Amino acid sequence: MKASFIIFIILTTILMSACGTGPPTASSDPVDVVQRYLQAKVAGDRDTLAGLICSIQEANLDREALSFSGVKAQINDMVCQYTENSNVVTCSGAIVADYNGENTDFPLVNYTVTQEDGQWKWCGEAP
């Protein structure tokens, strides 16, 4: 009886700890959100992107996730900075995509961030 109870407690603990796992979500740091968004976009990680984009960008989720599908891409020299009292994260560096042996650079730019449900989310390129 004691052994089966202990096994029950152990299995319950394992199952409960597994419930907390899932795709990364937005953050309280706007720079972190933009950097994770860019990394997920290059990796084609749809699940991560879904947790990082704002609600008005949800219709574009598949487009964002497939942006670099079929090519080798990486981010070089990414540095991002949040402008206080704004909704803009400014990034430098570039996404470098290899198209059949030729590299194409996509410079990192300014990105709009917004707070939804107390978390920062990526919401597109800033004008």
pLDDT tens readout for residues 6-17: 333 333 333 333
The mean pLDDT of 42-62, rounded to a whole number, is: 97
- Asked if the structure places residue 10 within a domain, the reply is no
First CA to last CA distance, the chain:
67
Tokens representing 116 are 């939804």
Task: Give the residue among 54, 45, 21 at the shortest CA–CA distance from 126.
Answer: 54
Tokens representing 102 are 């030729």
The CA-based dihedral angle spanning residues 51, 107, 92, 42, taken in that order and rounded to the nearest 10 degrees: 30
- Asked if the structure places residue 8 within a domain, the reply is no
- Asked if the structure places residue 88 within a domain, the reply is yes
What confidence score (pLDDT) does residue 8 get?
36
User: What does the mean pLDDT of the chain come to?
Assistant: 84
- Asked if the structure places residue 7 within a domain, the reply is no
- Asked if the structure places residue 35 within a domain, the reply is yes
Task: Compute the distance between CA of residue 13 and CA of residue 10 in angstroms, rounded to an integer.
Answer: 5
The domain in which residue 106 lies consists of 23-125
Is 37 a residue whose pLDDT tops 70?
Answer: yes
Which residues, 6+ apart, have CB-to-CB distance to 22 below 8 Å? none
Q: What is the CATH number of the domain that holds 117?
A: 3.10.450.100
- Asked if the structure places residue 68 within a domain, the reply is yes
Look at the chain and report how many structural domains it folds into.
1
Percent of the chain at pLDDT exceeding 90: 72
What confidence score (pLDDT) does residue 47 get?
97
Task: Compute the distance between CA of residue 37 and CA of residue 25 in angstroms, rounded to an integer.
Answer: 10
Is 105 a residue whose pLDDT tops 60?
Answer: yes
What confidence score (pLDDT) does residue 26 get?
52
The more confidently predicted of residues 8 and 115 is 115
